[in-house]
Amino acid sequence: MVPNSLHGKLLALDVDGTLLDAKGRLRKRTKLAIQAASDSGSIVTLATGRDWLAVEKLMEILPSVQYAVCTNGIEVYSKKGDRLTAREIDFDIAQIVIHSIRQKLPGVAIGVGIRGQLVGEPDIAKALPAMPAGVTSFPAKIVPDVMEEMTSNAQDIVVYHSDYHSRIEDLYEIVGEIVRDKQIDVVFSGLPMVEIVPAGCGKETGLSWLCSHLGITSTEVIAFGDGMNDLSMLKWAGKGIAMGQSVERVIGCADEVTLANSDDGVAVWIEAQLLAK
């Protein structure tokens, strides 16, 4: 846990439900607070389930953000879009996994991360939040069959089924059973679908790599999040801050709770705990 008197050397910000408000907007107060934290010496990074193409424009309007941990920790990018590190799912394993899921979950829609972009089957669009076009949107390539698009390893695999849109924990259990013993993990994506990632991946693994790269320890990290895919990151960070609207499990694992995302929760905490010192 980071004492209040210690300035966080690295601020890690989840995007959806944390940095952005409930309508997918970047609020002015939040943007200004992040800039002020950066000006006072903090390194600011995004830590998101989104792929690079879904945060690229957001990075452009946030000059204070220097890095992006994307795809739930699988990839780390510089502000310029250079991919600094990445892990992948072997092509053959990805093909086997997709085939097995389709056999045991009729009606499923599959998406695959390919070269920094989500390529998904039509129903995948139902799992993506309805947000204004532009900096907060989720650019995805919709195709009839993702397996026809795959020619190399996958960054991740996402699984959506309309029957489980409101029962994501049930889908998590089902998919986890299907892919057991295949050297991969199933994680919550932060959306009404589950994500399959290389074994041992999470937002904290991407952040851990970045910290090593920058010469920072986890105790010097302050992380903000709201979703199930933020749990491990909030536990790993020196100080984990849950947003006010977070689910109970997230609030329970956090060191502190700030206001909701639509009430500028990130800004309120930064102003009170970092900028007022």
| C-beta separation of 259 from 244 below 8 A | yes
- Last-in-domain residue among 198, 220, 244: 198
Of 198, 231, 255, the position where a domain reaches its end is 198
Statement to judge: residues 36 and 116 lie in one domain: no
Cα separations (Å) of 56 from 66, 80, 273?
A: 12, 9, 29
Of 143, 104, 148, which Cα lies nearest the Cα of 124?
A: 143
Q: Distance (Å, rounded) from C-alpha 178 to C-alpha 97?
A: 8
Domain end call among 198, 213, 245: 198
Domain residues for the domain of 257 are: 10-86+201-275
Residue 194 counted as domain residue: yes
What is the spatial distance between Cα 151 and Cα 159, in angstroms, rounded to a whole number?
A: 19
pLDDT at residue 5 in the model = 40
Phi–psi pair at 208, nearest 5 degrees: -65, -40
- Based on the fold, state whether residues 77 and 96 are members of the same structural domain: no
212 and 82 in one domain? yes
CA-nearest of 72, 139, 146, 141 to 108 is 146
pLDDT of residue 181: 81
14 and 96 share one domain: no
State the pTM of this model: 0.88
- CATH number of the domain residue 209 falls in: 3.40.50.1000
Burial class of residue 262 in the structure, from the number of CB atoms within 10 Å of its CB (0-12 exposed, 13-18 middle, 19+ buried): middle
pLDDT value, residue 1: 40
Interstrand relation of 117-120 and 75-78 (parallel, antiparallel or unpaired): unpaired
The answer to whether position 205 is within a domain reads: yes
Nearest to 165 by CA among 137, 124, 225: 124
Within a domain: residue 236?
yes
Question: How far from each other are the two terminal CA atoms of the chain, in whole angstroms?
Answer: 18
**Has residue 4 been placed in a domain?**
no
Q: How many domains does the chain have?
A: 2
Instruction: State whether the Cα torsion 111-80-34-216 is positive or negative.
Output: positive
169 within some domain? yes
Q: Do 204 and 232 form a contact (C-beta atoms < 8 A)?
A: yes
Q: Which helix (H) or strand (E) holds 224?
A: strand 221-225
Asked if the structure places residue 34 within a domain, the reply is yes
63 plus 81 within the same structural domain: yes
C-alpha distance from residue 38 to each of 93, 207, 237 (Å)? 41, 17, 18
**Do 114 and 172 fall into the same domain?**
yes
Q: Are residues 33 and 111 in the same domain?
A: no
Residue (of 270, 271, 268) closest to 259 by Cα position: 268
- Going residue by residue through the chain, which has 277 residues, state the pLDDT in tens, using 9 for 90 and above: 443 444 689 999 999 999 999 988 999 999 999 999 999 999 999 999 988 988 999 999 999 999 999 999 999 999 999 999 999 999 999 999 999 999 999 999 999 988 778 899 999 988 876 555 555 556 688 999 999 999 999 999 999 999 999 899 999 999 999 998 888 999 887 788 999 999 999 999 999 999 999 999 999 999 999 999 999 999 999 999 999 999 999 999 999 999 999 999 999 999 999 987 6
Long-range contacts made by residues 30-33, C-beta under 8 angstroms, separation at least 24? 30/264, 30/266, 30/267, 31/61, 31/62, 32/267, 33/264, 33/266, 33/267, 33/270, 33/271, 33/275
Regarding whether 109 and 235 lie in a shared domain, the answer is: no
Q: What would the DSSP string read from start to end of 37-62?
A: HHHTT-EEEEE-SS-GGGTHHHHHT-
Give the domain CATH number at 114: 3.30.1240.10
Strand ranges in 32-121 using DSSP code E only, listed in sequence order = 43-47, 65-70, 75-78, 83-86, 109-114, 117-120
Cβ count near 11 (within 10 Å): 26
98 and 181 assigned to the same domain: yes
The answer as to whether 3 is a domain residue is: no
pLDDT at 138: 63
Quote the pLDDT of residue 118. Answer: 87
Residues 227 and 255 in one domain: yes
